[in-house]
């Protein structure tokens, strides 16, 4: 008789056949095992008129039973670094999770600011704030925390990067051995099949620090890239937040989301694109995001294509395999499945 096959093994095999999932994703189908995660983020929840969505990724990492949130690191991006650090600290406090290690990186990208980036940062300082100011973070401690956590963990660590890649690039430059030690790096960024959301060529995270993104994709570690066009297929509408209330955290979430929902509606968009929360969700439920191997390069030249992601798929136009790939890149998403997971592990806990 053939050996008995467990349901978990059948589930993993089915997922691999259906979604062309990488070996790192298959390991996550061992249900009941906690995954150690370092979350690198640029949270704007707490700045009224900023995109509040990063905070939902933090909350999912805190609430999902399969995630052990080992650290949160803050990167300069959606808002200036000090505001992002204050937002993250306030969210952890409201959630009762001040024990989670928190650190911030440098206040600028790897190369000096461009004029358009300076204008973006200055505008965010003019917005009203809900989160109280925090003590200034220690300079550039986030890359050290990332490297220390990855190398010092008894279990493999998944590094989830949902902002510009400044901290991640500095971490692998500081300790190149983390490229072999990390389980994988899951990145929200880039675009392959639609225009960028900052310039016609570039998505925001890669546009903010293209040199850092180039370092990350050249580091030789396993990468999953969740791209702009896939994230645009998953949105949080105001009706899903309508029933929240009764706790300081729920009130903070609804107050932070309201002006962003209004701004999107005025621009003709229905709901908040769940860029960062979908990226985190793909770690705990990889079946939600369909991926395909590809070679990803970032344009670091000065000009209109700066920050663009060039994605070459695993086969050429004749179906012949390419000699090398450096990432699993998203090509589809189960939007309904994501919203079910989000409701269960985030909204139901507010």
Q: What is the pTM of this model?
A: 0.89
DSSP 286: G
The Cα 266–Cα 261 span in angstroms is 9
Q: What is the pLDDT of residue 60?
A: 99
Q: Which of 169, 305, 269, 283 is nearest to 226 (CA)?
A: 283
Reported as half-sphere exposure (CB side, CA atoms, 13 A), residue 335 has a value of 12
Q: Which of 155, 143, 137, 122 is nearest to 30 (CA)?
A: 155
The Cα 143–Cα 270 span in angstroms is 36
Reported as half-sphere exposure (CB side, CA atoms, 13 A), residue 151 has a value of 14
The Cα 312–Cα 9 span in angstroms is 31
Residue 280, token pair as written in the block: 């985190």
Q: What is the pLDDT of residue 140?
A: 67
pLDDT higher than threshold 60 for residue 18? no
Burial 236-248 (b: 16+ CB within 10 A, else e): bebebbeeeeeee
For the stretch 237-288, pLDDT in tens is 999 999 887 899 999 999 999 999 999 999 999 999 999 999 999 999 999 9
Q: What is the largest CA-CA distance in the chain?
A: 71
Instruction: State how beta strands 67-74 and 102-104 pair.
Output: parallel
Answer yes or no: CATH 1.10.150.120 is held by domain 33-349: no
Rounded to an integer, the average pLDDT of 313-324 is 83
Task: Quickly count: other Cβ atoms within 10 Å of residue 345's Cβ.
Answer: 22
Question: Which sequence spans correspond to the domains of the chain?
Answer: 33-349
For the stretch 89-108, pLDDT in tens is 999 999 999 999 999 999 99
Residue 58, token pair as written in the block: 């933090």
Rounded to an integer, the average pLDDT of 175-179 is 98
């Amino acid at each position: 008789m053939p050996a008995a096959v467990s349901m978990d093994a059948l589930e993993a095999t089915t997922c691999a056949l259906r979604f062309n999932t990488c070996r790192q994703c298959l390991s996550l189908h061992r249900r009941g095992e906690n995954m150690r995660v370092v979350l690198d983020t640029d949270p704007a929840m707490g700045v009224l008129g900023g995109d509040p969505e990063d905070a939902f990724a933090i909350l999912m990492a805190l609430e999902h039973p399969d995630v052990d949130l080992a650290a949160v690191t803050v990167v300069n991006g959606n808002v200036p670094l000090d505001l992002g650090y204050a937002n993250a600290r306030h969210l952890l406090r409201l959630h009762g999770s001040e024990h989670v290690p928190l650190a911030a990186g440098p206040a600028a990208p790897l190369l000096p600011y461009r004029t358009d980036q300076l204008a973006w940062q200055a505008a965010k300082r003019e917005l009203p704030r809900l989160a109280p100011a925090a003590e200034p973070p220690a300079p550039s401690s986030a890359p050290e925390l990332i490297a220390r956590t990855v190398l010092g963990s008894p279990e493999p660590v998944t590094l989830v990067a949902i902002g510009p890649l400044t901290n991640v690039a500095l971490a692998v430059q500081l300790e190149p051995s983390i490229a072999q030690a990390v389980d994988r790096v899951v990145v929200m960024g880039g675009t392959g099949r639609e225009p960028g959301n900052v310039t016609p060529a570039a998505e925001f995270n890669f546009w903010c620090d293209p040199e850092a993104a180039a370092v990350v994709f050249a580091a030789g570690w396993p990468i999953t890239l969740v791209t702009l066009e896939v994230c645009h297929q998953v949105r949080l509408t105001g009706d899903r937040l309508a029933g929240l209330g009764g706790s300081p955290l729920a009130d903070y979430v609804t107050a932070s989301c309201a002006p962003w929902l209004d701004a999107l509606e005025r621009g003709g968009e229905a709901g908040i694109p769940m860029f960062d929360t979908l990226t985190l969700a793909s770690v705990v439920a990889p079946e939600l995001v369909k991926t395909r191997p590809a070679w990803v390069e970032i344009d670091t030249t000065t000009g209109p294509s700066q920050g663009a992601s060039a994605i070459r798929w695993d086969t050429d136009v004749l179906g012949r395999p390419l000699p090398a790939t450096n990432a699993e890149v998203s090509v589809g998403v189960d939007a309904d499945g994501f919203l079910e997971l989000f409701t269960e592990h985030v909204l139901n806990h507010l």
